[in-house]
């Protein structure tokens, strides 16, 4: 699966520098020179995984573009391209919608590393040999339909519960910190409390454990988090 990146930058030479390097790193790119252009491109290309947004633009600032994207899409990854230290102050103040930021001048390697990290977080892209199923008897997780079966019987899960189970099955036997679960499932820019993890896991246990008061699938790692299995 090829990854698609929107590059919003009004300075043509910087934009082509970024585009050339992203293409070399195996990305598909879509270019935009104004904020409006970027929003139009996103509508035309709903499969864009990551948007790189320059801050200083002729028609609107990059933060406004970010806000407008986030108003309709929480899935896409957003990286702000900032030029000056004062813009960086603004970034930290306005991290509401952006996932990350990169300060100019940046090296192509730095930029692609940040995009790669974000793609992993936002798409959870399956490995090429992925059959679409994770088997962990008595459970079977279907990653295409986002469904879970226990002993062949469908367990009805919310999207969040599904994401938690998927995270555990990708990390069988590994203790996961509550903060780690929060970041992976709710996203880094979620401002709620870590308690939401406990609430969801309590509900999940009722659905999947043989005896929810004595869990054997999702076990507690005291003072740390949770683990799949012992």
Q: Which residues bind Ca ion (CB under 5 A)?
A: 10, 54, 56
Least distance in angstroms from the C-beta of 7 to Ca ion: 12
Closest CB 11 distance from Ca ion, rounded Å: 5
Instruction: Answer for the pair 104, 80: CB distance below 8 angstroms, yes or no.
Output: no
Q: How far is CA 134 from the centre of its chain?
A: 20
Nearest to 29 by CA among 8, 54, 58: 8
User: With respect to Ca ion, which residue has the nearer C-beta, 35 or 97?
Assistant: 35
Closer to Ca ion by Cβ: residue 106 or 190: 106
Bridge partners for 141 per DSSP: 134, 148
Q: Which is nearer to Ca ion, 104 or 207 (CB)?
A: 104
Reported as half-sphere exposure (CB side, CA atoms, 13 A), residue 108 has a value of: 14
CB distance 177 to 187 below 8 Å = no
Reference 114, options 192, 185, 18; nearest CA is: 18
Closer residue to Ca ion (CB): 13 or 213: 13
**Residue 43 Cβ vs Ca ion, minimum distance, rounded to whole Å:** 22
Q: Which is nearer to Ca ion, 87 or 161 (CB)?
A: 87
Q: Looking at beta carbons, which residue is closest to Ca ion? A: 56
Tell me if residue 53 falls in helix, strand or coil.
Answer: strand
Q: What are the residues facing 142 on neighbouring strands? A: 133, 147
What are the respective helix, strand and coil percentages of the chain, to the nearest 5?
40, 20, 35
Query: Least Å distance between CB 25 and Ca ion?
Result: 22
Closer of 9 and 100 to Ca ion (Cβ): 9
Residue 20 CB, nearest approach to Ca ion (Å): 18
Residue 213 Cβ vs Ca ion, minimum distance, rounded to whole Å: 58
Classified as helix, coil or strand, 99 is: coil
């Amino acid at each position: 699966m090829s990854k698609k990146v929107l590059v919003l930058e009004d300075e043509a030479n910087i934009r082509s520098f970024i585009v050339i390097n992203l293409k070399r790193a195996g990305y598909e790119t879509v270019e935009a020179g104004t904020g409006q252009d970027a929003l139009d491109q996103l509508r035309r290309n709903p499969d864009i995984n990551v948007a790189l947004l320059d801050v200083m633009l002729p028609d609107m600032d990059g933060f406004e573009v970010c806000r407008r994207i986030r108003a309709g899409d929480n899935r896409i990854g957003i990286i702000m391209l900032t030029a000056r230290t004062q813009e960086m102050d603004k970034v930290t103040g306005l991290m509401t919608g952006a996932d990350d930021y990169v300060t100019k001048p940046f090296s192509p390697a730095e930029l692609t590393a940040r995009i790669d990290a974000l793609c992993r977080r936002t798409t959870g892209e399956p490995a090429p040999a992925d059959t679409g199923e994770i088997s962990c008897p008595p459970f079977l997780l279907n990653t295409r339909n986002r469904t879970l079966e226990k002993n062949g019987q469908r367990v009805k899960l919310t999207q969040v519960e599904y994401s938690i189970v998927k995270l555990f099955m990708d990390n069988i036997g590994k203790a996961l910190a509550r903060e780690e679960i929060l970041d992976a499932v709710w996203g880094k820019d979620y401002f709620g409390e870590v308690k939401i993890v406990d609430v969801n896991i309590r509900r999940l246990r009722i659905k999947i454990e043989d005896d929810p008061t004595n869990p054997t699938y999702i076990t507690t790692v005291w003072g740390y988090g949770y683990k799949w299995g012992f």
